[in-house]
């Protein structure tokens, strides 16, 4: 007699398949026990399985999901929908085999919109009362999720949720909230009374100093992740939100600002436990010297995705103040060094401050800083990824011969990701000599600027060295954070559910 595996064992096994929708779907068909274990895993965030294979379009996905969700409606809700002319919506929605909605932990207005409109688009075309009926379905869907689910991730809708039965219990364990600063103050006050354990808040957009949002931030017991998108066109300093952020200095470890730095630099400087700082700035940073003098003794990741205005030396000072704690410095070339001396100072800081933990660095190179560059490579011996930008950035391609020679001779033993960015002349001979010198080193993921012209001879060499195991990846890439095979490096930190 074949013994069945206990459900807790099946659960542990199935969780390894959480990113493999097709395998999990197959588990549903084995027997009732397997299905009862697979359903909660699949329905934690079922919406992410819309495209189980890259570039696939599964036209059956939403109809099947909608049928399962609508089957969870109560008899009262089904009667209400029928009385308002929505009989067709419920066709085929018999009693649900499982209480699918109970397991959902992710919800957003986009999901509700899909659940509302996907099924009704063809059935209600030309219906004068469609806006009313859509609003009714949307309302009942929110009631369904608020009464059955225990959400971990919520994109806050414009409509108030407090009227929904179970609203408080549903959001008690909320871990991540996406919202707008222009949503009603009272809505945030209501959330602040219920949600005390939010670990991540994304404010997009942040266009005013919302007292309710400030209260929500301040009332959290363990806020770790904060992302604020403040459009430059609505640049305002959010004093109340800034004070609330300061109150979370004990727990905040990840901060991402996009657009305009809408809090005073002194607020940012108070985050002494910060480990990750990401900046995508399109506006000027006010009180910039105070920003430069900020000390982040625990900062491990500094990502400067975009900054058109902040001088290079401001960031150099900021890096110097970390006192060697950084593990990654990723930098796009929108605020480049002004001259060779800027590069020399920057390389010397990375060298003399003994950034021994540094595994990913962005640097600029010109032959005038050869000695400093070699010393940097020898000192930062734990480097695993390196982005080297050309200098000066005047549109005149530079020969890459000397740079590749230095890298071949002095590259740290663990270096396996190399990005050559900017204007360079890369001949097939350059490429062949460099890759030949790399044979006894870790397999290399090599990325080059789209400005570098590749010939058929280049591509032939790339295929040879890839087949021989010298190259792991080769790709033209303007921004490393957009490269699929480096996704794990650049994944945003998200609070665990």
Tens of pLDDT, residue by residue, the chain (497 residues): 456 777 778 777 777 677 777 777 777 777 778 777 788 888 999 998 876 544 555 677 888 888 889 888 988 988 888 888 777 676 666 777 889 999 999 999 999 999 987 655 445 555 656 777 788 889 999 999 999 999 999 999 988 888 888 888 999 999 999 999 999 999 999 999 999 999 999 999 999 999 999 999 999 999 999 999 999 877 788 999 999 999 999 999 999 999 988 999 899 999 999 999 999 988 788 888 888 888 899 999 999 988 878 889 999 999 998 878 899 999 986 778 889 999 999 999 999 867 889 999 999 999 899 999 999 999 999 999 999 998 875 556 677 889 999 999 999 999 999 999 988 889 999 999 999 999 999 999 999 998 888 999 999 999 999 999 999 999 999 888 888 888 877 775 444 44
- Output the pLDDT for position 117: 78
Which residues on neighbouring strands pair with residue 421, listed in sequence order? Answer: 389
Q: How far apart are CA 362 and CA 329, in angstroms?
A: 6
Q: Which residues contact 29 (CB under 8 A, 6 or more apart)?
A: 35
- Per DSSP, the chain holds a count of helices (H) and strands (E) of 20, 16
List, in sequence order, every beta strand (DSSP E) within 232-354.
254-259, 276-281, 301-307, 328-331
The number of domains in the chain is: 2
Q: Which residues contact 380 (CB under 8 A, 6 or more apart)?
A: 350, 351, 355, 356, 358, 361, 412
Q: Does some domain include residue 453?
A: yes
CA angle 24, 27, 32 (to 5 degrees): 135
Q: How far apart are CA 480 and CA 449, in angstroms?
A: 10
List, in sequence order, every beta strand (DSSP E) within 231-285.
254-259, 276-281
Q: Does some domain include residue 243?
A: no
429-432, Cβ contacts within 8 angstroms, sequence gap of 24 or more: 430/400, 430/401, 430/404, 431/458, 431/461, 431/462, 432/461
Q: Does some domain include residue 114?
A: yes
Q: Which residues contact 101 (CB under 8 A, 6 or more apart)?
A: 43, 69, 72, 144, 145, 148, 149
Q: Does some domain include residue 134?
A: yes
Radius of gyration of the chain, Cα coordinates, nearest whole angstrom: 27
Please, what sign has the CA dihedral across residues 14, 17, 18, 22? negative
Q: What is the residue range of 65's domain?
A: 43-138
Q: What Cα–Cα distance (Å) separates residue 91 from each residue in 1, 47, 123?
A: 43, 22, 12
Q: Does some domain include residue 422?
A: yes
Q: Which two tokens stand for residue 374?
A: 């070699």
DSSP string, 432-446: HHHHHHTTTSPPEEE
Q: How far apart are CA 426 and CA 107, in angstroms?
A: 49
Q: Which two tokens stand for residue 399?
A: 């020969």
Q: What Cα–Cα distance (Å) separates residue 80 from each residue in 74, 230, 269, 495?
A: 10, 42, 55, 39
Q: How far apart are CA 128 and CA 132, in angstroms?
A: 9
Q: How far apart are CA 261 and CA 54, in angstroms?
A: 36
* Residue tagged 């021994």 (tokens): 356
DSSP string, 387-441: EEEESS-SS--EE-HHHHHHHHHH--TT--EEEEESSEE--HHHHHHHHHHTTTS
Q: Taking a C-beta distance cutoff of 8 angstroms, is the pair 247, 214 a contact? A: no
Q: Is 69 exposed, middle or buried (0-12, 13-18, 19+ CB in 10 A)?
A: buried
What is the model's pTM?
A: 0.87
Three-state secondary structure call for residue 151: coil
Q: Where does a domain end: 90, 119, 138? A: 138
- Output the pLDDT for position 340: 92
- Output the pLDDT for position 56: 56
- Output the pLDDT for position 85: 76
Q: Does some domain include residue 119?
A: yes
Q: Where does a domain end: 106, 138, 170? A: 138
Q: Does some domain include residue 292?
A: no
Q: Does some domain include residue 201?
A: no
Q: Which residues contact 202 (CB under 8 A, 6 or more apart)?
A: 176, 177, 178, 179, 226, 227, 228, 229
User: Could you say which DSSP state residue 304 is in?
Assistant: E
Q: Where does a domain end: 104, 119, 138? A: 138
CATH number at residue 410: 3.80.10.10
CA angle 65, 70, 72 (to 5 degrees): 105
């Amino acid at each position: 007699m074949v013994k069945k595996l206990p459900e807790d064992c099946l659960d542990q096994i199935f969780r390894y398949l959480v990113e493999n929708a097709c395998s999990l779907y197959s588990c549903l068909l084995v027997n009732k026990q397997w299905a009862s274990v697979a359903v909660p895993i699949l329905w934690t965030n079922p919406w992410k399985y819309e495209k189980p294979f890259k570039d696939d379009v599964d036209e059956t996905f939403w109809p099947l999901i909608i049928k399962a969700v609508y089957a969870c409606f109560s008899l009262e809700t089904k009667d209400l929908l029928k009385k308002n002319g929505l009989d067709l919506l419920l066709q085929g929605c018999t009693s649900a085999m499982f209480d699918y909605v109970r397991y959902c932990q992710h919800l957003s207005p986009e999901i509700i919109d899909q659940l509302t409109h996907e099924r009704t688009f063809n059935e209600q075309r030309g219906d004068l009362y469609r806006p009313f009926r859509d609003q009714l379905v949307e309302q009942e869907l929110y009631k369904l999720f608020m009464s059955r689910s225990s959400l971990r991730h919520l994109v806050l809708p414009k409509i108030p949720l407090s009227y929904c039965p179970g609203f408080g219990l549903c959001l008690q364990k909320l871990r991540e909230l996406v919202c707008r600063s222009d949503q009603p103050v009272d809505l945030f006050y209501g959330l602040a009374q219920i949600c005390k354990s939010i670990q991540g808040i994304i404010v997009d957009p942040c266009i005013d100093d919302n007292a309710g949002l400030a209260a929500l931030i301040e009332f959290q017991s363990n806020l770790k992740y904060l992302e604020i998108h403040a459009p430059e066109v609505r640049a305002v300093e959010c004093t109340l939100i800034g004070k609330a952020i300061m109150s979370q200095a004990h727990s905040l470890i990840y901060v991402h600002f996009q657009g305009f730095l809408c809090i005073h630099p002194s607020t940012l400087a108070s985050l002494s436990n910060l480990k990750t700082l990401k900046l995508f700035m399109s506006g000027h940073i006010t009180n910039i010297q105070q920003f430069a003098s900020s000390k982040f003794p625990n900062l491990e990741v500094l990502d400067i995705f975009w900054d058109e205005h902040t001088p290079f030396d401001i960031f150099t000072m900021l890096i110097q103040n970390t006192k060697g704690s950084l593990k990654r410095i990723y930098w796009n070339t929108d605020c480049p060094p002004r001259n060779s001396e800027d590069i020399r100072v920057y390389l010397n800081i990375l060298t003399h401050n003994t950034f021994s933990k540094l595994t990913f660095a962005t640097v600029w190179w010109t032959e005038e800083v050869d000695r400093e560059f070699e010393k940097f490579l020898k000192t930062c011996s734990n480097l695993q990824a390196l982005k080297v930008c050309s200098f000066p950035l005047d549109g005149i391609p530079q020969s890459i011969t000397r740079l590749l020679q230095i890298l071949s001779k002095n590259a740290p033993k663990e270096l396996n990701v190399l990005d050559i960015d900017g204007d360079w002349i890369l001949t097939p001979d350059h490429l062949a000599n460099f890759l030949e010198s790399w044979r006894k080193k870790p397999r290399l993921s090599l990325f080059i600027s789209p400005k570098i012209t590749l010939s058929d001879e280049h591509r032939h060499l790339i295929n040879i060295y890839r087949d021989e195991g010298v190259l792991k990846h080769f790709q033209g890439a303007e921004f490393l954070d957009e490269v699929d095979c480096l996704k794990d490096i650049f994944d945003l930190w998200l609070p665990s559910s």
